[in-house]
Structure formats: C-alpha cells, structure tokens
C-alpha cells in the first residue's frame, strides 16, 4: 500500500516538471517572437529612412518644383512659416489692419453722408 501511494506522487512530480518545461518553452517562444518583431520593425524604419534620403526630400519649400499655389497650401496664406505661433501672430496683425481699415472707411463714409446732407 505504501508503494502504491508513492508512485502517483512521483507521476505528479514528473507531470509538474513537464508542465514547467512547457511554460518555460512558451515564454522563450514569446520572447523570441517579440525580439523578431522588434528587429523587423527596426529594419522597416531604417529602410524608410534610406528611401527618404535617396528620394531627396527637401524641407525647403522654396524650390523650382514647388509653385506658389503649393507653397500657399503647405505654408498657409501668410507664408511666414509653418510654426503655428508665428502664424497666429501674423493673423492677428492682419485682423488689426482690417479692423483699422474698417473704421477709417466707415468714418470717411459717415463724413461723406453728413456733408451730403443725408445723415
């Protein structure tokens, strides 16, 4: 009887060790797969960098191949820069000029109407 009790325990030990080996092999497979994915993504990034360098992407928007219309589309109507802070400053200056012109023309029109006797 005592021997029969020991045999299942030994079987359980071998079963648990085989399960541990399976879990370890799965973890190793996962690590290998993640390393493979990282290497593949790094290679794709390097290929894209080399491709862009070969194509000669020119960050300078003022070239012969870049007409005025495309520059306006890329850089905006003010054409100062692609920095949003400077664009906002330029737009504020343009709005102030428009507002002042509105008041000047309005005052001229009001003076004209007074002189004409309409107002």
- Each residue of 76-96: pLDDT tens digit? 665 656 677 777 888 899 999
Going by pLDDT thresholds of 50, 70 and 90, the confidence category of residue 54 is: low
Going by pLDDT thresholds of 50, 70 and 90, the confidence category of residue 106 is: very high
Question: What pLDDT is recorded for position 13?
Answer: 56
Integer CA distances (angstroms), 93 to 46, 78, 85, 104, in order:
43, 11, 13, 17
Give pTM, 2 decimals.
0.32
Q: With left for phi above 0 and alpha for psi between -120 and 50, is residue 56 left, alpha or beta?
A: left
**Average pLDDT taken over every residue of the chain:** 75
- In sequence order, which residues have a C-beta less than 8 Å from that of residue 72 and are 6 or more positions away? 79
């Amino acid at each position: 009887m005592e021997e029969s009790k020991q045999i299942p325990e030994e079987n359980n030990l071998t079963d648990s060790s085989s399960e541990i080996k399976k879990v370890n092999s799965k973890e190793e497979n996962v690590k290998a797969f993640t390393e493979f994915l990282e290497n593949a993504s790094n290679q794709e990034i390097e290929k894209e960098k080399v491709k862009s360098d070969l194509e000669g992407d020119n960050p300078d928007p003022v070239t012969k191949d870049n007409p005025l219309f495309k520059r306006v589309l890329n850089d905006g109507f003010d054409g100062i820069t692609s920095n949003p802070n400077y664009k906002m400053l330029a737009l504020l200056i343009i709005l102030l000029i428009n507002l002042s012109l509105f008041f000047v023309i309005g005052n001229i029109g009001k003076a004209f109407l007074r002189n004409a006797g309409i107002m």
